């Protein structure tokens, strides 16, 4: 290679460009799909502008977690090739493309230092604080309208127009700040811990104001995991007991003092009772116009498709069409929906072999080199896994970006030995 080119590549601030790409992605996740796309291009640019490409590529070959993550893209491609609806199949491949580009990019990049990794998580936490403050002000200014939206099973407005993924982002910000507090990491001074504590309390409040049930489930589940961590690893029995009592009191307090929570709980109970009446009587009037019953119906339809195509699946591009055929035959008055469960989507699309392959690829990075020792990484996996139960997290671009970047950012940092927590 020409000495001038080599000199330029050696001086090129690859890590700094990747750091900027992370910040752009955080903003993109919050409010701009364009920035989200642009950030991924920057990751790739920072990766390939390398003076030692052969040496860098060897890291990709050696780190099996990167290969496993790329396997998710491979599964989408194989399933798409078996689909007859090429248009829908191409959409799924395009959305899953980060699972091909980003594992290679993060493997080629120099590892983020422990401080850089924590700086990024801190800045993400602050970005979510600022954003949620704006959402809260808007909620208060339009209180009656927002309460009515919750009453009719609609969502409170969020900047990214995806309240479900937004609630996952709030949870990740909460879990990141808990981990950073445990690590005693602060951007400025030690007094910053009070900003962290206040911010955590505010974000917990916002999760209850938004009343996204999957988001609240993640919050409580993650909180229990944090308590177990402090009790088992830190031997902090008293602190663990206090934290557990606080967590146990939150459902009661939120139900009685946050109007949206009470509305959503009553609506959920109402929907469930209607669905039970439908299952008992088969009278379709009980499931008309209700969002929860539509979700439960989508599970039922997808499960029947999965059972009839147990070993091959129907193909990721054809699942919606297969759902539509059953809707048209049995439920013509209902809106056609993917099953609101990503595990079920994978099973119906790829069959048992594809489902087991996905489970392996998805969870492998958590156990590889005992990465579960990092509290934030463990909480991150809990967040995404629970989201799969009620949503098709990886069928939308923002869900893929949220999962792939936090996953690969963590793996990249672990390459520098930043894992014990």
212-247 pLDDT, tens digit each: 889 999 999 999 999 998 888 877 777 778 888 888
| CB-CB neighbours of 8 under 10 Å | 12
Each residue's pLDDT tens digit, 289-339: 667 788 888 899 999 999 999 999 999 999 999 999 998 888 888 888 888
pLDDT confidence bin for 57, thresholds 50/70/90: confident
Q: Evaluate if residue 52 carries a pLDDT over 90.
A: no
Q: What is the mean pLDDT of the chain?
A: 89
Q: Residue 49, class by beta-carbon neighbours within 10 Å (0-12 exposed, 13-18 middle, 19+ buried)?
A: middle
In this structure, the dihedral spanned by the alpha carbons of residues 179, 185, 188 and 194, taken in order and rounded to 10 degrees, is: 50
Buried b (16+ CB within 10 A) or exposed e, 56-84: beebbeebebbbbbbbbbebbbebbebbe
| Closest C-alpha among 218, 216, 242 to residue 230 | 242
Q: Where are the alpha helices (DSSP H) in 233-317?
A: 237-257, 259-281, 291-308
- 20: Cβ contacts below 8 Å, ≥ 6 apart: 42
Q: Residue 5, class by beta-carbon neighbours within 10 Å (0-12 exposed, 13-18 middle, 19+ buried)?
A: exposed
d(CA 317, CA 88): 5
Buried b (16+ CB within 10 A) or exposed e, 189-219: eeeeeebbeebbebbbebbbbbbbbbbbbbb
Residue 120: the pLDDT is 96
Each residue's pLDDT tens digit, 126-135: 999 999 999 9
Give the rounded percent of residues in the chain with a pLDDT score beyond 90. Answer: 61
Q: Evaluate if residue 421 carries a pLDDT over 50.
A: no
Look up residue 161 and give its two tokens: 């127009």
Residue 271: the pLDDT is 80
| Closest C-alpha among 53, 56, 25, 60 to residue 40 | 25
Q: Evaluate if residue 7 carries a pLDDT over 70.
A: no
Q: Evaluate if residue 163 carries a pLDDT over 80.
A: yes
pLDDT confidence bin for 6, thresholds 50/70/90: low
Please report how many Cα atoms fall inside a 13 Å half-sphere around the Cα of residue 16, on the Cβ side.
Answer: 3
More confidently predicted of 346 and 249: 346
More confidently predicted of 6 and 359: 359
More confidently predicted of 15 and 377: 377
| pTM score, whole prediction | 0.93
Buried b (16+ CB within 10 A) or exposed e, 318-348: bbbebbeebbeeebeebeebbbbbbbbbbbb
d(CA 328, CA 336): 9
Q: Evaluate if residue 159 carries a pLDDT over 80.
A: yes
d(CA 342, CA 392): 4
- Average pLDDT score over residue span 162-181: 95
Any idea how long the chain is?
A: 421
Q: Give all strands (DSSP E) within 14-117, no chain letters.
A: none
């Amino acid at each position: 290679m020409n000495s001038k080119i080599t000199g330029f590549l050696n001086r090129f601030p690859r890590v700094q460009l990747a750091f900027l790409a992370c910040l752009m992605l955080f903003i993109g996740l919050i409010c701009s799909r364009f920035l989200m796309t642009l950030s991924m291009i920057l990751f790739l640019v920072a990766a390939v502008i390398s003076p030692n490409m052969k040496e860098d590529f060897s890291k990709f070959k050696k780190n099996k977690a990167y290969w496993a993550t790329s396997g998710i893209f491979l599964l989408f491609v194989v399933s798409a090739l078996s689909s007859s609806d090429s248009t829908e199949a191409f959409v799924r491949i395009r959305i899953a493309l980060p699972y091909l580009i980003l594992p290679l990019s993060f493997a080629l990049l120099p590892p983020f230092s422990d401080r850089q990794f924590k700086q990024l998580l801190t800045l993400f936490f602050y970005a979510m604080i600022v954003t949620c403050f704006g959402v809260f002000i808007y909620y208060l200014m339009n209180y009656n309208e927002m309460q009515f939206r919750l009453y009719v099973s609609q969502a409170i407005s969020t900047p990214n127009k995806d309240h479900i993924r937004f609630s996952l982002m709030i949870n990740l910000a909460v879990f990141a700040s808990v981990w950073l507090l445990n690590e005693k990491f602060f951007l400025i001074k030690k007094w910053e811990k009070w900003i962290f504590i206040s911010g955590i309390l505010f974000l917990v409040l916002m999760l209850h104001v938004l009343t996204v049930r999957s988001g609240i489930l993640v919050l409580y589940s993650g909180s229990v995991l944090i308590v177990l961590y402090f009790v088992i690893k830190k031997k902090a029995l008293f602190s663990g007991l206090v934290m557990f009592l606080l967590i146990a009191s939150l459902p009661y307090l939120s139900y009685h003092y946050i109007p949206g929570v009470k509305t959503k709980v009553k609506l959920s109970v109402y929907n469930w009772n209607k669905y039970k009446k439908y299952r008992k009587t088969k009278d379709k009037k009980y499931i008309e116009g209700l969002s929860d019953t539509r979700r439960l119906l989508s599970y039922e339809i997808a499960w029947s498709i999965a059972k009839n195509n147990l070993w091959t699946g129907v193909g990721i591009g054809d699942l919606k069409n297969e759902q539509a055929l059953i809707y048209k035959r049995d439920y013509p008055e209902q809106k056609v929906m993917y099953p609101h469960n990503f595990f079920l989507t994978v099973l119906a699309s790829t069959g048992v072999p594809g489902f087991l392959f996905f489970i392996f690829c998805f969870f492998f990075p958590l156990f590889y080199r005992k990465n579960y020792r990092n509290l934030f990484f463990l909480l991150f996996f809990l967040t995404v896994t629970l989201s799969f139960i009620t949503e098709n997290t990886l069928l939308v671009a923002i869900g893929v970006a949220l999962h792939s970047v936090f996953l690969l950012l963590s793996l990249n940092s672990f390459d520098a030995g930043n894992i014990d927590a």
